[in-house]
Amino acid sequence: MSETIVHEISPVWDEESRVLILGTLPSPKSRENGFFYMHPQNRFWEVIFTVFGEKLNFPNKALKKISASERLEAINERRDFLIRHKIALWDVLKQCDISGASDASIKNAVPNDFTEILSRSKIRHIFCTGKTAFALWKKHCSSVYEERFALKAACLPSTSPANAAWSVENLVAEYSKINNLGQDFSFTSQSDFSSGQS
Protein backbone atom coordinates (compact mmCIF):
# COMPACT_ATOMS: atom_id res chain seq x y z
CA MET A 1 0.00 0.00 0.00
CA SER A 2 1.41 3.36 -0.99
CA GLU A 3 1.75 6.39 1.28
CA THR A 4 2.63 10.01 0.68
CA ILE A 5 6.18 10.76 1.78
CA VAL A 6 7.42 14.32 2.27
CA HIS A 7 11.20 14.80 2.36
CA GLU A 8 12.22 16.15 5.77
CA ILE A 9 16.02 15.71 5.76
CA SER A 10 17.87 18.93 4.99
CA PRO A 11 20.41 18.93 2.16
CA VAL A 12 24.11 18.98 2.97
CA TRP A 13 26.06 21.68 1.12
CA ASP A 14 27.94 24.93 1.44
CA GLU A 15 29.18 27.64 -0.91
CA GLU A 16 32.33 25.62 -1.72
CA SER A 17 30.42 22.51 -2.86
CA ARG A 18 31.44 21.40 -6.35
CA VAL A 19 29.58 18.09 -6.76
CA LEU A 20 25.94 17.26 -6.00
CA ILE A 21 25.00 13.63 -5.35
CA LEU A 22 21.28 12.86 -5.62
CA GLY A 23 19.25 9.84 -4.61
CA THR A 24 15.54 9.43 -5.20
CA LEU A 25 14.31 10.13 -1.67
CA PRO A 26 15.20 8.77 1.80
CA SER A 27 14.33 5.13 2.44
CA PRO A 28 12.24 4.23 5.52
CA LYS A 29 15.42 3.32 7.45
CA SER A 30 17.09 6.59 6.48
CA ARG A 31 14.05 8.55 7.62
CA GLU A 32 14.10 6.60 10.88
CA ASN A 33 17.79 7.41 11.41
CA GLY A 34 17.45 11.02 10.29
CA PHE A 35 20.04 11.08 7.50
CA PHE A 36 20.81 9.90 3.98
CA TYR A 37 21.79 6.32 3.08
CA MET A 38 21.40 4.98 6.62
CA HIS A 39 19.91 1.55 5.89
CA PRO A 40 22.25 -0.94 7.62
CA GLN A 41 22.94 -2.70 4.32
CA ASN A 42 23.32 0.36 2.11
CA ARG A 43 26.92 0.66 0.95
CA PHE A 44 26.98 4.34 -0.01
CA TRP A 45 29.06 5.56 2.93
CA GLU A 46 31.49 2.65 2.80
CA VAL A 47 32.00 3.29 -0.91
CA ILE A 48 32.36 7.07 -0.81
CA PHE A 49 34.72 7.01 2.19
CA THR A 50 36.84 4.38 0.40
CA VAL A 51 37.00 6.52 -2.75
CA PHE A 52 38.65 9.28 -0.70
CA GLY A 53 40.90 6.92 1.27
CA GLU A 54 39.04 7.28 4.56
CA LYS A 55 37.34 4.89 6.97
CA LEU A 56 34.04 5.23 8.82
CA ASN A 57 34.11 5.21 12.60
CA PHE A 58 30.40 4.35 12.62
CA PRO A 59 29.64 2.06 9.64
CA ASN A 60 26.04 1.44 8.64
CA LYS A 61 26.13 -2.15 9.89
CA ALA A 62 26.71 -0.86 13.43
CA LEU A 63 23.76 1.55 13.49
CA LYS A 64 21.44 -0.93 15.22
CA LYS A 65 23.80 -1.27 18.17
CA ILE A 66 24.73 2.33 18.90
CA SER A 67 23.19 4.87 21.28
CA ALA A 68 21.30 7.99 20.27
CA SER A 69 24.36 10.16 20.97
CA GLU A 70 26.54 7.84 18.87
CA ARG A 71 23.99 8.00 16.06
CA LEU A 72 24.33 11.78 16.12
CA GLU A 73 28.12 11.34 15.95
CA ALA A 74 27.64 9.03 12.95
CA ILE A 75 25.57 11.66 11.16
CA ASN A 76 28.09 14.41 11.96
CA GLU A 77 30.93 12.19 10.74
CA ARG A 78 29.19 11.81 7.39
CA ARG A 79 28.19 15.46 7.12
CA ASP A 80 31.71 16.68 7.95
CA PHE A 81 33.17 14.32 5.35
CA LEU A 82 30.91 15.75 2.64
CA ILE A 83 31.70 19.37 3.45
CA ARG A 84 35.42 18.64 3.66
CA HIS A 85 35.40 17.10 0.20
CA LYS A 86 33.13 19.78 -1.32
CA ILE A 87 30.31 17.31 -1.93
CA ALA A 88 26.65 18.28 -1.62
CA LEU A 89 24.04 15.61 -0.91
CA TRP A 90 20.27 15.61 -1.35
CA ASP A 91 17.51 13.82 -3.25
CA VAL A 92 15.66 14.54 -6.46
CA LEU A 93 12.21 14.34 -4.90
CA LYS A 94 10.55 16.57 -2.34
CA GLN A 95 7.42 14.42 -2.18
CA CYS A 96 5.81 11.38 -3.76
CA ASP A 97 3.50 8.45 -3.21
CA ILE A 98 5.48 5.25 -2.65
CA SER A 99 5.07 1.72 -1.29
CA GLY A 100 7.78 1.04 1.29
CA ALA A 101 11.19 1.44 -0.35
CA SER A 102 10.10 0.47 -3.87
CA ASP A 103 11.22 3.10 -6.38
CA ALA A 104 9.17 1.29 -9.01
CA SER A 105 5.99 2.25 -7.12
CA ILE A 106 6.64 6.02 -7.15
CA LYS A 107 3.72 8.15 -8.29
CA ASN A 108 2.81 11.84 -8.11
CA ALA A 109 6.48 12.87 -7.89
CA VAL A 110 7.28 16.45 -6.89
CA PRO A 111 10.93 17.52 -7.30
CA ASN A 112 12.98 19.54 -4.84
CA ASP A 113 13.88 23.12 -5.73
CA PHE A 114 17.62 23.24 -6.42
CA THR A 115 17.82 26.94 -7.27
CA GLU A 116 19.40 28.11 -4.02
CA ILE A 117 21.99 25.32 -3.84
CA LEU A 118 23.05 25.72 -7.46
CA SER A 119 23.10 29.53 -7.48
CA ARG A 120 25.06 29.86 -4.23
CA SER A 121 27.62 27.06 -4.69
CA LYS A 122 30.25 26.02 -7.24
CA ILE A 123 28.40 22.86 -8.26
CA ARG A 124 28.81 21.92 -11.92
CA HIS A 125 28.48 18.14 -11.68
CA ILE A 126 25.41 16.09 -10.72
CA PHE A 127 25.69 12.39 -9.92
CA CYS A 128 22.48 10.38 -9.45
CA THR A 129 22.71 7.18 -7.43
CA GLY A 130 20.70 4.78 -9.55
CA LYS A 131 18.66 4.82 -12.72
CA THR A 132 15.41 5.90 -11.03
CA ALA A 133 16.99 9.01 -9.52
CA PHE A 134 18.62 9.78 -12.87
CA ALA A 135 15.35 9.31 -14.79
CA LEU A 136 13.51 11.57 -12.33
CA TRP A 137 16.23 14.21 -12.62
CA LYS A 138 15.99 14.10 -16.40
CA LYS A 139 12.20 14.24 -16.34
CA HIS A 140 11.67 16.97 -13.75
CA CYS A 141 14.91 18.94 -13.41
CA SER A 142 17.24 18.65 -16.39
CA SER A 143 15.55 21.26 -18.57
CA VAL A 144 15.19 23.63 -15.60
CA TYR A 145 18.76 23.60 -14.31
CA GLU A 146 21.36 22.02 -16.61
CA GLU A 147 21.72 24.78 -19.20
CA ARG A 148 21.10 27.58 -16.71
CA PHE A 149 23.89 26.42 -14.38
CA ALA A 150 26.17 24.73 -16.96
CA LEU A 151 25.71 21.34 -15.30
CA LYS A 152 26.80 17.87 -16.35
CA ALA A 153 24.56 15.10 -15.00
CA ALA A 154 25.43 11.40 -14.90
CA CYS A 155 24.14 8.14 -13.47
CA LEU A 156 26.06 6.02 -10.95
CA PRO A 157 25.04 2.54 -9.78
CA SER A 158 22.81 2.28 -6.74
CA THR A 159 24.50 1.29 -3.50
CA SER A 160 21.31 -0.16 -2.02
CA PRO A 161 21.09 -3.82 -1.00
CA ALA A 162 18.61 -4.31 -3.87
CA ASN A 163 21.55 -3.83 -6.25
CA ALA A 164 23.53 -6.75 -4.82
CA ALA A 165 24.95 -7.66 -8.25
CA TRP A 166 27.38 -4.77 -7.80
CA SER A 167 30.26 -5.56 -5.43
CA VAL A 168 31.76 -2.90 -3.18
CA GLU A 169 34.91 -3.03 -5.31
CA ASN A 170 32.98 -2.34 -8.51
CA LEU A 171 31.00 0.42 -6.85
CA VAL A 172 34.21 2.07 -5.65
CA ALA A 173 35.56 1.97 -9.21
CA GLU A 174 32.47 3.78 -10.53
CA TYR A 175 32.21 6.28 -7.67
CA SER A 176 35.89 7.16 -8.06
CA LYS A 177 34.73 9.34 -10.96
CA ILE A 178 33.51 11.80 -8.32
CA ASN A 179 37.12 12.24 -7.24
CA ASN A 180 38.40 12.54 -10.81
CA LEU A 181 36.29 15.20 -12.49
CA GLY A 182 38.86 16.06 -15.13
CA GLN A 183 37.77 13.13 -17.27
CA ASP A 184 34.79 12.82 -19.60
CA PHE A 185 31.71 11.02 -18.35
CA SER A 186 32.35 7.53 -19.73
CA PHE A 187 29.80 5.79 -17.54
CA THR A 188 28.48 2.27 -17.70
CA SER A 189 24.99 1.97 -19.17
CA GLN A 190 22.44 3.31 -16.70
CA SER A 191 20.30 0.22 -17.33
CA ASP A 192 22.71 -1.72 -15.12
CA PHE A 193 22.44 0.64 -12.19
CA SER A 194 19.19 -0.38 -10.46
CA SER A 195 17.28 2.08 -8.31
CA GLY A 196 18.72 4.42 -5.75
CA GLN A 197 16.90 5.55 -2.64
CA SER A 198 18.98 7.35 -0.09
- Counting every residue written for the chain, the total comes to 198
Helix 44-51 and helix 168-175, axial crossing angle in degrees, nearest 10:
50
β-partners of residue 19 are 87, 125
Separation of first and last alpha carbons in the chain = 20
Cβ proximity of 195 and 103 under 8 Å: yes
The C-alpha atoms of residue 38 and residue 59 are separated, in whole angstroms, by 9
Sheet with 125-129, strands from edge to edge, namely: 87-91, 19-23, 125-129, 152-156
User: Are the C-beta atoms of residues 88 and 19 closer than 8 Å to each other?
Assistant: yes
170 included as an active-site residue: no
Residues 196, 53: Cα–Cα separation, whole Å: 23
Do residues 135 and 105 make contact, with C-beta atoms less than 8 angstroms apart? no
> Catalytic pick from 42, 60, 112, 163?
42
Residue type, 109: A
The set of catalytic residues is 42
